[in-house]
Amino acid sequence: MINLAVFGVGRIGHVHAINASGLGSVRIKYLVDPIAGEHQAHLAARLGAESVSADTVFSDSSIDGVIIASSTDTHAELLLKAAKSGKAIFCEKPVSLNFATVEAVTNAVNASGVSCLLAFQRRYDPDFRFVRDRVLSGDAGTLEHIVMHTRDPSPPSLAYIGHSGGMFRDQAIHDFDMARYLLGEEITTVYAVGNCLIDQAIGDAGDIDTAMVTLTSASGRFVQMINCRRAPFGYDQRLEVLCSKEVLYVENRPQRGVTIADVSGFRGSPPMNYFIERFAAAYRDEMAAFVDMIETGQVPLAGIRDGLEAQRIAEAAIVSIQSGMPIHIGPDWRP
């Protein structure tokens, strides 16, 4: 039996706890969330878990791994404590909003030898994995160009904007990671433009709501990203991968697989509401991979270094917007 502790039982922590508990070899022993209150009590009762402090988790030798889904400002400290106590780690992105902290924690976790899965769930999405597998197999030919569309159904609250770290560190970081994952190589140039076209209050809070980013890889291939905090029709998650033999498209997943046809034309269903619904299968497979990592030592699709490299691209995009220039990056580049 694998004993796990979950830090943070908000929206995504709840999803992870339920998914982990549904795996036959897993027991959620502890929940840690000092502000969840009644919600944590209900979840603890449902899972047969105990609500405890962080110190209890790290001093308990029976805990095999931790799921870190608490607020971003707690991630770095919890990662270091988990590594020091020798517990396998599942951690939500980002590690920190400060790049130097991300780099230091990445080095410390790697030096500890503890296994760590960083939660870039799109790597576990069946559609995205199919595209990558087809490219790697050679069936699609040589990958030449990638286009990504990421638009939220509506802007987040201004309170969220204020502590999110900005659209590149928060939303677009998934696209930066997916670019590396699909290309199989590092990004060397980042050019970004952005503005507030939806709500100037977002700009007043120090962020942007609309951006276009062009990435160039080490071999000269291109990734074009379109990111926005609003799409009138719902959650927009589309991918286009141009290869020498094929073009691979991942379209939005509809709420219903039904098309209605009448004299006015064809009408489909809107996309799934948001990321919890759209990536439900990915979240389940991601958690299964974490447990597999503990049980067999299987290397996860996304490790802590992937978080560092995605954030390096995010920081370069921010500098690009500020300077109006393309930014050339490598393993030694820092903001």
pLDDT of residue 54: 97
Q: Residue 278: what pLDDT?
A: 96
Q: What domain range is 108 assigned to?
A: 2-114
Q: Which of 139-148, 181-190, 252-261 has the lowest mean pLDDT?
A: 252-261
What pLDDT score was predicted for residue 39? 84
Please indicate, yes or no, if residue 247 is contained in any of the structural domains. yes
> Cβ distance 167 to 307 under 8 Å?
no
What is the per-residue pLDDT for 34?
A: 80
Chosen domain end from 114, 147, 170 = 114
Residue 282's nearest CA partner among 156, 145, 184, 177 is 177
Mean pLDDT across 200-213 = 96
Q: Are residues 18 and 74 in the same domain?
A: yes
For the domain that residue 96 is a member of, what is the CATH number? 3.40.50.720
Percentages (nearest 5) of helix, strand, coil residues in the chain? 40, 25, 35
81 in a structural domain? yes
Residues 253-279 have a mean pLDDT of 93
pLDDT in tens, 155-171: 999 999 988 999 999 99
Peptide bond before 94: cis, by omega within 30 degrees of 0?
A: yes
Q: Which two tokens stand for residue 280?
A: 């439900």
* Whole-number Å distance between alpha carbons of 176 and 217: 11
- Span 241-250, average pLDDT: 98
Say what the pLDDT of residue 35 is: 80
pLDDT digits (tens, 9 = 90+) for 84-101: 999 999 999 999 999 999
pTM over 0.85: yes
* Per-residue model confidence (pLDDT) at position 280: 97
Q: Hey, how many other C-beta atoms are within 10 angstroms of the C-beta on 256?
A: 10
Confidence at 38, pLDDT banded by 50, 70, 90? confident
Same domain flag for 138 and 107: no
Please check the confidence at residue 36 and state whether its pLDDT lies above 80: no
Q: What distances in angstroms separate CA 67 from CA 30, 89, 100, one per listed residue?
A: 10, 6, 23
> 104-115: per-residue pLDDT in tens?
999 999 999 999
The structure tokens 């050679």 sit at: 138
Task: Say whether both 95 and 144 belong to one domain.
Answer: no
Torsion of CA 315, 316, 321, 324, to 10 degrees: 160
Of 74, 93, 114, the domain-final residue = 114
The per-residue pLDDT for 250 is 98
Check residue 40 and give its pLDDT.
86
pLDDT more than 70, % of the chain: 100
Distance CA 47, CA 22 (A): 10
In a shared domain, residues 58 and 136? no
Pairing of strands 65-68, 2-7: parallel
Is position 297 within any domain? no
Helices marked H in the chain: 11-21, 38-47, 54-59, 72-84, 99-112, 126-137, 158-164, 167-170, 173-183, 200-204, 275-278, 280-296, 304-323
Number of domains observed in the structure of the chain: 2
End-to-end CA distance of the chain: give it in Å, rounded.
44
For 56, the 3-state DSSP assignment is: helix
Are 221 and 137 part of one and the same domain?
A: yes
Residue 216 located in a structural domain:
yes
What is the predicted pLDDT for the residue at 37?
75
Question: Quick one: tokens of 272?
Answer: 């799934």
What is the average pLDDT value for the chain, to the nearest integer?
A: 96
Domain limit, last residue, from 92, 114, 136: 114
In a domain, 163, yes or no: yes
Instruction: From 137, 129, 116, 107, select the one nearest 68 (Cα to Cα).
Output: 116
Average pLDDT in the 58-78 region? 97
pLDDT in tens, 297-318: 999 999 999 999 999 999 999 9
Statement to judge: residues 157 and 278 lie in one domain: yes
Instruction: Tell me what percent of the residues of the chain surpass a pLDDT of 90.
Output: 95
